[in-house]
Amino acid sequence: MRIAKRSELTGNRILLVRLAAVAGALVFGGIFLLILGQNPFVIYGSMINGGLGSFFRFRETINTTIPLLLTSLGVMIAFKMKFWNIGAEGQIYMGAFAASYFALNFSDLPKPILLIVMAVAAMVMGGIWLLIPAWFKSKFGTNETLFTLMLNYVAIKWVTYLQYSLWKDPNAMGFPKIASFTENALIPKLFGIHIGWIISLIFIYLVYMFLSHTKTGYEISVIGESENTARYAGIDIKKAILKTMFISGGICGLVGMIQASGISGTLSVDLSGGVGFTAIITAWLSGLNPIVVGIVSFLFAMLQQGGSYIQTAYQIPSSAAEILQSLILFFVLASEFVIRYKVVLKFKAKGEVEA
Lowest mean pLDDT among 24-38, 67-81, 255-269: 24-38
Least confident of 221-230, 232-241, 311-320: 311-320
pLDDT at 248: 96
The pLDDT confidence band at residue 307, using thresholds 50, 70 and 90, is confident
Q: At what angle do helices 88-105 and 55-80 cross, to 10 degrees?
A: 120
Phi, psi for residue 81 in degrees, rounded to 5: -90, 5
Q: What is the pLDDT of residue 196?
A: 94
The answer to whether the beta carbons of residues 342 and 6 sit under 8 Å apart is yes
Q: Which residue has the higher pLDDT, 186 or 18?
A: 186
Q: How far apart are the C-alpha atoms of 106 and 90, rounded to whole Å?
A: 24
How far is the C-alpha of 93 from the C-alpha of 41, rounded, in Å?
A: 40
Q: What is the pLDDT of residue 353?
A: 60
pLDDT band at 233 (very low <50, low <70, confident <90, very high): confident
Position 352 scores a pLDDT of 61
Rounded to whole angstroms, how far apart are CA atoms 132 and 147? 9
**What pLDDT is recorded for position 351?**
59
| Dihedral sign from CA coordinates of 329, 299, 204, 153 | negative
Mean predicted confidence (pLDDT) in 14-42: 87
> What is the chain's length?
355
pLDDT value at 24 more than 60: yes
As a whole number, mean pLDDT of residues 312-337 equals: 81
Q: pLDDT digits over 37-74, tens only?
A: 889 899 889 988 988 888 999 999 999 999 999 999 99
What's the average model confidence in pLDDT over 239-255?
95
- The pLDDT confidence band at residue 25, using thresholds 50, 70 and 90, is confident
350 pLDDT tier (thresholds 50, 70, 90): low
What lies within 8 Å, CB to CB, of 202 at 6+ separation is: none
Higher pLDDT, 128 or 14: 128
pLDDT value of position 349: 59
Give 235-242's long-range contacts (Cβ < 8 A, gap of 24+): 237/138, 238/138, 238/139, 240/81, 240/216, 241/81, 241/83, 241/134, 241/137, 241/138, 242/131, 242/134, 242/135, 242/138
What percentage of residues in the chain have a pLDDT greater than 70? 97
Q: Is the dihedral of CA 142, 146, 152, 158 positive or negative?
A: negative
Predicted confidence (pLDDT) per residue in 131-186, tens digit: 999 999 988 888 999 999 999 999 999 999 999 999 999 888 888 999 999 999 99
The b-or-e profile of 92-131 (16+ CB within 10 A means b, else e) is bbbbbbbbbbbbbeeeebeeeebbebbbbbbbbbbbbbbb
Residues 266 and 74 sit within 8 Å (Cβ to Cβ): no
Q: What span, in angstroms and rounded, lies between the C-alpha atoms of 128 and 122? A: 10
Taking only the tens place, the pLDDT of each residue in 273-294 is: 889 998 998 898 888 899 999 9
Nearest partner of 279 among 309, 261, 252, judged by Cα:
252
Q: Which band of pLDDT confidence, cut at 50, 70 and 90, is reported for residue 251?
A: very high
Q: Which of 15-29, 85-99, 324-338 has the highest mean pLDDT?
A: 85-99
